[in-house]
Structure 1
Amino acid sequence: MRPFSFSQTQDVETAVREVAAYPDSKFIAGGTNLLDLMKIDVMRPAHLIDITKIALNTIEETESGGLKLGALATNADTAYHPLVEERYPLLSHAILAGATAQLRNMATDGGNLLQRTRCYYFYDTQTPCNKREPGTGCSAIKGYNRDLAILGTSEHCIATHPSDMAVALAALEATVHVSGTNGARAIPMADFHRLPGDTPHLDTNLQPDEIITAIELPSKGFAQHYTYLKLRDRASYAFALVSVAAGLELEGDTVKEARIALGGVAHKPWRKPEAEALLHGQSATRENFQKVAEAYLEGAKGYGDNTFKIELAKRAIVRALEQATNMEASA
């Protein structure tokens, strides 16, 4: 690990001013991803700003009937919070499907959204990687890419976003609240993460001087018909090959609304509202679910080792929607 300076702040305003003052600085809270990357020389911040003393760890109800998750609330506290379990079980299940209990006790909700990819070539500093060093090339496209993206890729990057929590937040249409030197703003979850395009080193639309302060959940939580399905190489402590967050609003056997988000298949949680709309007003049947799955994977591209994920994702969508309909929720 390279030398770095360190400071601690107790309020958002000071944190924002400090990160703007240091051109190569990073916020640190739980540090469950950042410290790992620093140890292997993938990330090299010259200055760390400890934000754990800022009062951003509460979970509160909003006037609109939703919940506001403080950015420094831990994943564990969020997953087990009574209101999250009761009203947003999809989110609780997604969080508990990720990492280990020890990591969930340390990792923060804001930090979870800012995880870097687990692409092997991103972690290997001896190989070209546009995400790590822009302009050097993407080793994964013609290399070992079994875990990598099949949707939203570019010639510059086929990395995937690793978060389970973010997939559920995308399905729930959460909002990310941030603050910077130009003030506060709210970013819809659909716009928070970026596709790689020709700037794969940029994971999100956060500005360099901005800090996440909260994640807001809308009132609708799909608590009656939901599932988080995570398909992986082993039963626990593994990142998703494909994951599906699904929420349904049913009236009898008719689908009034459907929300689907995919993980493990793109540079960001993958939503396709026009495909979800195919279910609106339709019967909750396997045949209709298959039509949605086909629409969701339209345009998917495999790169050899990961081509199997196209069919896997289709089947996962159908299975997740069936589980949500029948409430056979699984993690």
Structure 2
Amino acid sequence: MNNFSYSRPEDLNSALGELTKREGAKFIAGGTNLLDLMKENIERPSHLIDINHLGLNTIEATADGGLRLGALVTNADTAYHENVVTHYPLLSQAILAGASAQLRNMATNGGNLFQRTRCYYFYDLATPCNKREPGSGCGALRGYNRIHAILGTSDQNSETACIATHPSDMCVALAALEAVVRVTGPAGERIIPFADFHRLPGNEPWRDNTINPGELVTAIDLPPKGFSTNFAYIKLRDRTSYAFALVSVAVALEIENNRILDARVALGGVAHKPWRKPEVEATLIGQPVSEANFQAVAEALIDGAKGYGHNTFKIELAKRAIVRALQQAAKLEPTA
């Protein structure tokens, strides 16, 4: 780990000012991912700005009936908050499916959005990785790629190839709930729809999100509709605890008289960002609850998926997980 300096500003403007004037500075809150990256010599900040005293640690109702999650509220406090458990149980379940209790007690909501991939090659400085070192190649393409992406990947023949996945459970639920991210920076405040916050690798796999230099996430806003009756979060992994998802599925449905009025399906573990296809979800609207309809949606959501050898099994696994999650959300007894 390289030497670095440290400061603890007491207000938001001071924190933003320090980030702007100190080259190589980074914000730190819970540090559950950043410190690991520093120990592995992947991140090398020259200065850490501790933002834990900026007052962004509340959960409160919004004027439209939604809920605002402060960026510095811990994952544990969010998951167990009465309003989250009651009105947004999908989010609570997703958070509790991730990490360990100790990590959830430290990790913050804002930090969760910025988790970096757990790709083996990203962490291994002896191997090529376009995300870590642009232009060096993608070691996962022809290496051991069991945990890697099957959707939205960069062209394997390009100089910017990348098949890394985004690791967050919380973000999959936030995608399904259509949350928005509130940020502030040198140009003032702005709101980013959750679908636009994370990026596919494209020609810039080293960019995980659409945050501009000097900006800070201040809150995550949940819309009034929380899908508290018909929801499900399924996480499939190599072991039952403390492991990242091979495939995860967040489903939120609105059902009346056995017909679907609204449908959201977000996938984790399969792409560089939480994966949704709203145009496919829309095909469920007005349809009766049925396994046949769920299977058709699963096929459409995974259409175009590509395996790279060790991870090809994920294609079928994802389809089955989608159907099972939809069945659970609709309270439809699954077939064997």
Instruction: Please classify the TM superposition score into its range, dividing by the shorter chain length.
Output: over 0.9
Residue in structure 1 matched with residue 318 of structure 2 by the alignment: 313
Task: Report the TM-score when normalising by structure 1.
Answer: 0.98
Q: Which consecutive residues of structure 1, in runs of 5 or more, have no partner in the other structure?
A: none
Residue in structure 2 matched with residue 267 of structure 1 by the alignment: 272
CA-to-aligned-CA distance 1:140-187 (integer Å, 9 cap, x gap): 011110001000000310000000000000000000000001100000
Task: Give the 4+ runs in structure 1 shifted more than 3 A.
Answer: none
Residue in structure 2 matched with residue 98 of structure 1 by the alignment: 98
**Mapping of 1:23-34 within 5 angstroms?**
23-34=23-34
1:203 alignment partner, one of 179, 195, 208? 208
CA-to-aligned-CA distance 1:49-93 (integer Å, 9 cap, x gap): 000011000000001000000000000000000000000000000
In structure 1, what is the Cα distance between the partners aligned to 2:257 and 2:109?
Answer: 35
Task: Indicate the SS of the match to 1:116.
Answer: coil
Residue in structure 2 matched with residue 13 of structure 1 by the alignment: 13
Superposition deviation, residue 327 in structure 1:
7.9
Task: Indicate the SS of the match to 1:171.
Answer: helix
Residue in structure 1 matched with residue 192 of structure 2 by the alignment: 187
Residue in structure 2 matched with residue 224 of structure 1 by the alignment: 229
In structure 2, what is the Cα distance between the partners aligned to 1:69 and 1:54?
Answer: 14
CA-to-aligned-CA distance 1:171-205 (integer Å, 9 cap, x gap): 00000000001100000000000000110110000
In structure 2, what is the Cα distance between the partners aligned to 1:119 and 1:180?
Answer: 30
Task: Report the TM-score when normalising by structure 2.
Answer: 0.97
Kindly report the root-mean-square deviation, in angstroms, between the aligned alpha carbons of the 2 structures.
Answer: 0.9
Q: Which consecutive residues of structure 2, in runs of 5 or more, have no partner in the other structure?
A: none
Q: Is the 8 A contact 1:78 1:84 kept in 2?
A: yes
In structure 2, what is the Cα distance between the partners aligned to 1:194 and 1:11?
Answer: 30
In structure 1, what is the Cα distance between the partners aligned to 2:257 and 2:10?
Answer: 51
In structure 1, what is the Cα distance between the partners aligned to 2:260 and 2:54?
Answer: 43
The answer to whether residue 218 in structure 2 is matched with residue 249 in structure 1 is no
Q: Identity of aligned pairs, percent?
A: 67
The answer to whether residue 281 in structure 2 is matched with residue 276 in structure 1 is yes
CA-to-aligned-CA distance 1:203-247 (integer Å, 9 cap, x gap): 000012000000000000000000100000111100000000000
**Mapping of 1:86-125 within 5 angstroms?**
86-125=86-125
In structure 2, what is the Cα distance between the partners aligned to 1:327 and 1:226?
Answer: 12
- When residues 114 and 327 of structure 1 are mapped into structure 2, their CA distance, relative to the original with a 3 A threshold, is farther
Superposition deviation, residue 23 in structure 1:
2.4
Q: Is the 8 A contact 1:227 1:327 kept in 2?
A: no
